[in-house]
Every structure is written in C-alpha cells, then in structure tokens.
Amino acid sequence: MMRLKILTPVMLWSALSLISCSYYKSVEMMPITTDSELALEFYETGMVAFDQVKLGLAMHNLQLAVEEDPNFFMANFWLYFLSSKTSKKVAEQALSSTASLNEGEKQIKSAFKYLLDGEDEKVVEHLQMAIDLYPSDPSVHKILYIIQFQFLKDLEGSIESINRAIKVKPDYALPYNQLGYAYMEIGKFDEAEAAFNKYIKLAPNIANPYDSKGDFYINTEQYQEAYDSYMKAFEIDSSFTVSQKKAMKAKQLLEKSMEL
C-alpha cells in the first residue's frame, strides 16, 4: 500500500531492532530457518514493519533477506503477499526452497502450495497444524487469519481465527486491525469500532491504527471524525501519504454533506 524511500540496512535495523527484540522474545516463537544471520535480521525487522502496516518498508527488508539467502522460505512466503507483478516468480522461489524447514514451516509451505492450487480447505487444515505446533506464537496465527480474510474471503472464519489469536496474546495489536475490518465487512459496526479502539489503545504511537479508524468513520459517514483520524495518522508518520489523501476525501464528503 505504501511505497517508501529505500533505506540502508543500518538505518532499517537501528530503527526497528529494539521493537522486534523486546516483543518476540516474550513468547515461544516458531524458529525461522535461514543459513544467514543477516538475512534473519532483515526478516525480523521486515515483519515488524509489516505489523505496523509499513508495507513498502516490509517488502524492502524481505527482499534484502532473500538477497542474502535465496533459499529463505519464510521471507519468500511473505514477499508473495506483498508482491504484485513478481508474485508468480516469488511463489516459485518459495516452493523451490530446499532449506531444512522445521515442522511448522513445513505445514505453512504445504498450506501455501494448496493456496496456489485453490484447495482452500487444505490451506486451513495445514495452517491449523502449524498453530497446533506453536500455539503461543501470534505470528503463526497471523498467517491463518490474513489468508482467510484476504484470500479465501472467509469473513466468519477469519473472525473466529482472530479471536483465538487474541486469546493467546491479547496485547498483540495487529489482530484488532484485521478484526475491525472483518466486522465492518459483515456490518457489525459496534464490534468494529471496539476493535479499532483497542488497536489504537495498544499501538497509540504508530500511524496505521488511526488510518484504520478513519476508514471506520468514512464507512459510518462520520466525515469530520474521519478527517481528524486520517490527519492524526499522517502527523505521526509522514510516509502515510495515503492517509493524507483520504483526509482530503473526507473533507470533500463533509463539505458535500453540509450542502444538502
């Protein structure tokens, strides 16, 4: 969604390493297989950026990871979801990985193949197996509910999976974002607002929660509130130019509604 200026590896690591270390050591995580420590650092900081919905930065770091280790399955796996024109090539590189994956990664790889083949039930089955292996790792839960929501279009299933993830790690912010959008899609706006409010409470200093709450306000025709929320996102992070554009759209809708 966002396209950010390319940063040097030192800048990327120094900006995000403290966040990734403090959070990811607090739970039992699925090991990530790579032969390169530098590739792993790029991957970890890339996934922190992903969680903050800094998708251009996440993609950049994941690309650096696979440059360091072309056989890096998990980096290629996440690159697929961030890619567009090169997604087929990235998928092929992910599936051709010959790395000695752990059991959780093997289940994710199987699920990925079934996703590409259109076998939705097997996708969910294998991702659930990965979750069973690492039930306290929110990053493994995240794969299931993102795929259910964005690719399988299974809103009810994604809500169920998100709520399970929240029970495991209630102070992990990202699931509340996905939950808010899923509830909006099915017209449960009270539940959506509660989810977005929780997202803001858990991550008050990053831009995306306010951008998401702006989307909620737009959908409920609260245009002044939408404008304020979008501008809050842009003020926090000027790379969120999409929020600034949305704010201008909200302002136009507000002016138009006042003319009626």
Q: What is the pLDDT of residues 166-216, one digit of tens each?
A: 999 999 999 999 999 999 999 999 999 999 999 999 999 999 999 999 999
If we measure between CA atoms, which residue out of 227, 224, 179 comes closest to residue 199?
A: 179
Position 114 scores a pLDDT of 97
Mean predicted confidence (pLDDT) in 105-133: 97
Residues in the chain: 260
Q: Is the predicted pLDDT of residue 133 greater than 50, yes or no? A: yes
Reading the block at residue 174, the tokens are 């990202």
DSSP state of 153: -
Position 22 scores a pLDDT of 38
Reading the block at residue 119, the tokens are 């076998």
- Give the distance from CA 104 to its chain's centroid: 19
Mean predicted confidence (pLDDT) in 36-62: 96
Instruction: Give the mean pLDDT of the chain.
Output: 90
Q: How confident is the model at residue 2 (pLDDT cuts 50, 70, 90)?
A: very low
Burial bucket for residue 244 (CB in 10 Å: 0-12, 13-18, 19+) = middle
Reading the block at residue 259, the tokens are 């003319």
d(CA 159, CA 24) in angstroms, rounded, equals: 24
97 phi-psi bin (left φ>0, alpha ψ -120 to 50, beta other) = beta
pTM of the predicted structure, to 2 decimals: 0.86
DSSP state of 35: S
Mean predicted confidence (pLDDT) in 40-54: 96
Reading the block at residue 70, the tokens are 């072309």
d(CA 198, CA 91) in angstroms, rounded, equals: 34
- Higher pLDDT: 214 or 15? It is 214
d(CA 187, CA 163) in angstroms, rounded, equals: 17
Helix (H) / strand (E) element for 204: namely: none
Proportion of the chain above pLDDT 70, given as a percent? 89
Mean predicted confidence (pLDDT) in 54-83: 96
